[in-house]
Amino acid sequence: MTRAYATEAVRLECRKGAVLGCAEVSLTDSVTAVPATVRADRTWRQTVGSYVALTKPRIIELLLVTTVPTMIVAERGLPSLWLMTATVIGGTLAAGGANAINMYVDRDIDQVMDRTKKRPIASGAVSPRSALVFAITIEAAAFAFLWAAVNLLSAGLALGACLFYVFVYTLWLKRTSKNNIVIGGAAGAAPVLIGWSAVTNSLAWPPVILFAVIFIWTPPHFWSLAIKYREDYAKVDVPMLPVVASLRTTAVSIFRYTLALVALTVAFAPVADMGGLYLASAIVLGGVFIWYSVRLMRDASPAVAMRLFGWSITYLTLLFGAMAVDRLL
């Protein structure tokens, strides 16, 4: 069966209750021409792969990198294998559901942007309705599983992160504010709170600081990527900072956030009673991050920006890895 595509151009309609780029967007409004049918000759492996892709697994991997080390710090040792597994499973389902809803809402711009046009909904691999049902189902399963297997606080934090990501970032800020990723980054910082609460069934200052670390890390990480895809965001009117400000302004903002990030990671050491291994790692890794941000201020090119983007991922992985090893030793 051939794939039929709607022929009319992509339209961003502003109307009450369904305003893209304005104040509100309805989850059920069809705001763009999407592939009219889904191919019936797809194998079950291709179908499963498309649904997995809806969850944005690479983003989930990065989130989980911060969850388990936080649990180790909270436990002051190694938590039970079951608790870590249950928290990771629940967190994966929760983040996957939020990402799938995000992909459902953004299906109109995903079709236009070169970076996202091969995503499952935009390419016609999964229908919008099926994607939304799938997303809500795994989000509900995440809440129920975390409540049953971990605790209600962790389940509530996971659900709250999803609602914030969908309604505050995706439906409101992403298309209306240059601070979209600054505020929206709070959703991505929730896993450290979930990991801590999974162990202690409470919150304290150490996870709050770790939340701030991820919150401050997110803008330099995402703005560096947005520099490369500046034209992509511009053609769909998404006001990422590199679109609405000069590259020099963006680079300076990245530098300032990086300084704040390094300061927070150093401050975490005495608050959480961390050892010398973590503190030395925070200083060295942070120094490299600052160096990359200085290079970007001198040359705000996509090539340099992508080197910073790549380092930001390595940085977070190594920082939280050092945190776990420090506590275990």
User: Which CATH number goes with the domain that contains 82?
Assistant: 1.10.357.140
Which range marks the domain in which residue 258 is found? 204-329
CA distance 131 to 100: 7
| Judgement on whether residues 120 and 147 belong to the same structural domain of the protein | yes
Instruction: Choose one of 167, 199, 231: the last residue of a domain.
Output: 199
The whole-number pLDDT of residue 41 equals: 56
| Judgement on whether residues 70 and 190 belong to the same structural domain of the protein | yes
In this prediction, the residues of the chain whose per-residue pLDDT falls under 50 are 1-33, 36-37
| Judgement on whether residues 120 and 224 belong to the same structural domain of the protein | no
The whole-number pLDDT of residue 7 equals: 34
Asked if residue 2 is part of any domain, the answer here is no
| Judgement on whether residues 249 and 135 belong to the same structural domain of the protein | no
Instruction: Choose one of 199, 234, 269: the last residue of a domain.
Output: 199
CA distance 306 to 228: 7
CATH of the domain at 264: 1.20.120
Tell me the DSSP string of 8-63.
SPP---EETTEETTSS---TT---S---SS--SS--HHHHHHHHHHHT-HHHHHHH
The whole-number pLDDT of residue 63 equals: 82
| Judgement on whether residues 194 and 283 belong to the same structural domain of the protein | no
Number of folded domains in the chain?
2
- Strands (DSSP E) along 187-256, which ranges? none
CA distance 100 to 80: 30
Cβ-based burial of 83 (10 A; exposed 0-12, middle 13-18, buried ≥19): middle
| Judgement on whether residues 166 and 60 belong to the same structural domain of the protein | yes
The whole-number pLDDT of residue 50 equals: 95
The whole-number pLDDT of residue 257 equals: 98
| Judgement on whether residues 193 and 77 belong to the same structural domain of the protein | yes
Q: Which residue has the tokens 């608050």?
A: 271
Asked if residue 24 is part of any domain, the answer here is no
| Judgement on whether residues 188 and 210 belong to the same structural domain of the protein | no
Instruction: Choose one of 172, 199, 226: the last residue of a domain.
Output: 199
| Judgement on whether residues 100 and 136 belong to the same structural domain of the protein | yes
The whole-number pLDDT of residue 291 equals: 98
Structure tokens at 122: 């935009």
